[in-house]
Amino acid sequence: MFDTIAAIATPPGEGGIGIIRVSGPEALEVAGRVFRAARAGDWAEKPGYRMYYGHVVDAASGEVIDEVLLSVMRAPHSYTREDVVEINCHGGWMAVSRVLQAVLKAGARLAEPGEFTRRAFVNGRIDLTQAEAVLDIIRSKTRESMDVAVSQLRGVLGAGVEKLREELVAVQAEIEGSIDFPEDVGAPAADELRARLQRIGDDIEKLVATSETGRVYREGLAVVIVGKPNVGKSSLLNALLGEERALVTAVPGTTRDVIEEMARIGGIPVRLADTAGVRETGDIVERMGIELARRKIGEADVVLLVLDAVQGIDAGDREAAALTEGKRRIVVVNKIDLAPEGIPGEAVRELAGDVPVVRASAKDGTGIADVGEAIGNVIGRLPAGGETPVVTNVRHRAALERAAECIRDAVGGVEKGLPLDIVAVDLYGALHALGEITGVTADEEIIDRIFAEFCVGK
Ligand SMILES: Nc1nc2c(ncn2[C@@H]2O[C@H](COP(=O)(O)OP(=O)(O)OP(=O)(O)O)[C@@H](O)[C@H]2O)c(=O)[nH]1
Ligand SMILES: [Mg+2]
């Protein structure tokens, strides 16, 4: 059914080893044409899950290309469920490309991007969510995003979605039974039907709700430090990071560019950005910095609005507050080492509303842990253990939202007493949307789009 494909599976560049992956019905024959084992007897039997030492040669000339280790994974116990051979050669560009050339000359075809993983999906070893998890693991930037991706690769999300789909299939079957054989199968009671659909709909909504947390753990929470000049924004950035990342001086208008760092704060991955102090200024560079700050505020999940305990609240703070209006905010009253009484809570509420307020000193470290905790409290924790499905992928979220909408329509239809064949149409829509997530009902076009994101060799 499939031909035999090959590609370089390791990244370009220099490394200890490079791997050429070969998969398909003729993987062993192709490898046999280019591989000369040091001990011929072993290689002839070729049992799976073994490695063989030897050389790759040019099939035509017999010229030795590289010294290699070859691993054999026999169908169906392999990544693709086909016979797979991986040739471990030296990890230099010339070595891997010459070994690949030899394998292609020996009868394999160069694999398309993602084709190995696609075969694993088509051959039923993994569902679409698991195929996507492979890419998520490779691309993960935080520990948590990798944990979620590994859980997804283990099939936790796919199983959760499949369970919902099966519940819907059962409802659908009952409805269709009563439509096709009205004499033998009574129509399901409206109340009971409504309740069952409602419950499935609620479970889908719960999955959708995990996607906000999922996104943050994947990309990091965007936290932007904002305030008038000289309140200690850059000092706060340094204190939160625990390193002298940004320049700090007594001169207002020190920071002009946006300074951004990834860090773990309050137990969650955070993209922390320090910005230029907000004020009217004739200095063109500073003005550009303030413009950048505005843009950053637009992208922020959370704004740390910094005030100066010594100066109290003035027009500059009101301007900064106006700029961050509508954003989720945490007020940091800084420099409490100089003014321990801080700023009255009433004045802060008047400025920024009912938001968390932390009194801190970026200079001596007082309250910095509390700022971290306030940031951590913004977003829910990931369920521990990786056994609870979490949605991180926008494609999954969109499909779940479509399914939830269809279920809402179906519930509405039952309530209005619409004929069951009309309700069945909505259920079909929900089933299709859920099936797209795991791939049970995904169109070829969707599948193409998913695997097009992979690179060759995955
Ligand atoms: N005593 C005291 N001084 C502080 C504290 N935080 C910052 N400062 C001082 O305040 C001055 C300004 O600090 P920065 O961190 O540069 O302030 P900024 O808000 O980034 O200023 P711009 O970049 O100009 O907008 C420096 O002299 C700091 O040493 C604090 O908690 N206590
Ligand atoms: Mg600064």
Ligand 1 atom nearest to 248, measured from its CA = 16
Spatial separation of the C-alpha atoms in residues 318 and 321, rounded to whole Å = 5
What are the backbone dihedrals phi and psi of residue 272, each rounded to the nearest 5 degrees, phi first? -100, 130
Mutate to test the pocket of ligand 1, among 226, 230, 243, 306 (most ligand atoms within 8 A of CB): 230
Give the number of the ligand closest to the Cα of residue 359: 1
Spatial separation of the C-alpha atoms in residues 33 and 4, rounded to whole Å = 14
- Of 452 and 81, the structure prediction assigns the larger pLDDT to 81
Alpha-carbon torsion, ordered 219, 386, 328, 374, to 10 deg: -110
334's enclosing H/E stretch is: strand 329-334
Whether 55 and 67 have beta carbons less than 8 Å apart is answered as yes
Is 152 near ligand 1, meaning CB less than 6 Å away? Answer: no
Q: Which residues surround ligand 2, an ion (CB under 5 A)?
A: 233-234, 254-255
pLDDT digits 0-9 by tens, 289-304 = 899 999 999 999 999 9
> b/e per residue, 250-289, with b = 16+ CB within 10 A?
eeebbbbebbebebebbebbbbbbbbbbbbebeeeebeeb
Whether 359 and 308 have beta carbons less than 8 Å apart is answered as no
Q: Is domain 131-214+388-452 annotated with CATH 1.20.120.430? A: yes
Model confidence at 44, pLDDT cuts 50, 70, 90, reads: low
Residue 42 pLDDT greater than 70, yes or no: no
Mutate to test the pocket of ligand 1, among 224, 226, 233, 235 (most ligand atoms within 8 A of CB): 235
Residue 379, pLDDT score = 83
189: its two tokens: 């009671």
Ligand 1 atom nearest to 256, measured from its CA = 23
CATH topology of domain 5-126: Gyrase A; domain 2 (3.30.1360)
For residues 388-414, give the mean pLDDT.
96
Q: 154, 219, 198, 215: which is closest to 396 by C-alpha?
A: 215
Going by alpha carbons, the residue nearest to atom 11 of ligand 1 is 250
Is 254 near ligand 1, meaning CB less than 6 Å away? Answer: yes
Cross-sheet strand order for the sheet of 268-274: 259-265, 268-274, 221-226, 302-308, 329-334, 357-359
Give the number of the ligand closest to the Cα of residue 250: 1
Is 48 near ligand 1, meaning CB less than 6 Å away? Answer: no
Is 275 near ligand 1, meaning CB less than 6 Å away? Answer: no
- Give the E-state strand segments of 92-234 in sequence order: 109-110, 221-226
* Strands 109-110, 84-91: pairing kind: unpaired
Spatial separation of the C-alpha atoms in residues 23 and 46, rounded to whole Å = 15
349's enclosing H/E stretch is: helix 345-352
Is 371 near ligand 1, meaning CB less than 6 Å away? Answer: no
**Residue partners of 202: CB distance under 8 A and separation at least 6:** none
Residue 341 pLDDT greater than 80, yes or no: yes
Ligand 1 atom nearest to 334, measured from its CA = 31
Is 231 near ligand 1, meaning CB less than 6 Å away? Answer: yes
pLDDT digits 0-9 by tens, 122-162 = 999 999 999 999 999 998 877 888 999 999 999 999 999 99
Residue 21 pLDDT greater than 90, yes or no: yes
Tell me the β-bridge partners of 271: 222, 262
Architecture of domain 229-376: 3-Layer(aba) Sandwich (3.40)
Is 235 near ligand 1, meaning CB less than 6 Å away? Answer: yes
374: its two tokens: 């306030």
Model confidence at 217, pLDDT cuts 50, 70, 90, reads: confident
Residue 410 pLDDT greater than 70, yes or no: yes
Q: 270, 163, 169, 267: which is closest to 206 by C-alpha?
A: 163
Residue pointed to by tokens 């760092």: 261
For residues 356-381, give the mean pLDDT.
93
Percent of residues in the chain assigned helix, strand, coil, to nearest 5: 50, 20, 35
Is 324 near ligand 1, meaning CB less than 6 Å away? Answer: no
Domain ranges (residues) in the chain: 5-126, 131-214+388-452, 229-376
Is 107 near ligand 1, meaning CB less than 6 Å away? Answer: no
**Residue partners of 448: CB distance under 8 A and separation at least 6:** none
Tell me the β-bridge partners of 428: none
Tally the C-alpha atoms within 13 A of residue 269's C-alpha that lie toward its C-beta. 18
pTM: predicted TM-score of the whole model, two decimal places: 0.79
Residue 403, pLDDT score = 98
Spatial separation of the C-alpha atoms in residues 349 and 168, rounded to whole Å = 49
Residue 144, pLDDT score = 84
Residue 378, pLDDT score = 85
Is 249 near ligand 1, meaning CB less than 6 Å away? Answer: yes
Whether 431 and 441 have beta carbons less than 8 Å apart is answered as yes
Residue 1, pLDDT score = 66
How remote is the CA of residue 97 from the centroid of ligand 1, in Å? 55
